[in-house]
A = this chain, B = another copy of it.
């Protein structure tokens, strides 16, 4: 992942906002010929600077109407304890985000569910089954105020 100049940054910004823009328009927007732009983007992708392109789907369309924020504490902080927990949590497809945190709880999760009944199932079959957990605290999102894909977009 080499150094990024102003044009690279412009390419990344444009694709953050519209990831399905054509290469021709992207080139025009950053002030480059299409071929040069395509080659730069190719480098950005292969170097891992661009990690992927994803469509954002209206959650209602997919029937995931519910977001839960789950705080979890483990029974210890040994590397093995953390590793086992993390390996297990990665298997749950409803967990969108998981961070190891500073502060009162060890992990914070963002979980998507179709409804309360679905969340009850996820909680029972997945979250409660995670290893080394000593405390789970679920809160539910009442309303989404902001959900930006990236900083400053």
Contacts and interface: CB of A to CB of B under 8 A. Distances in A.
B18 A148 contact: no
A6 interface: no
A93 B56 contact: no
A95 B146 contact: yes
Determine the interface band of chain A, counting residues with CB < 8 A from chain B.
Answer: 35 or more
Nearest to A139: B103
**Residue of A50, A51, A67, A151 contacting most chain B CB atoms (<10 Å):** A151
A145 interface: yes
Contacts of A89: 145-146
Given A18-B53, A49-B61, A93-B153, 11 more contacts: A1-B58, A1-B61, A18-B52, A20-B53, A53-B53, A53-B54, A56-B150, A97-B146, A98-B147, A102-B141, A102-B142
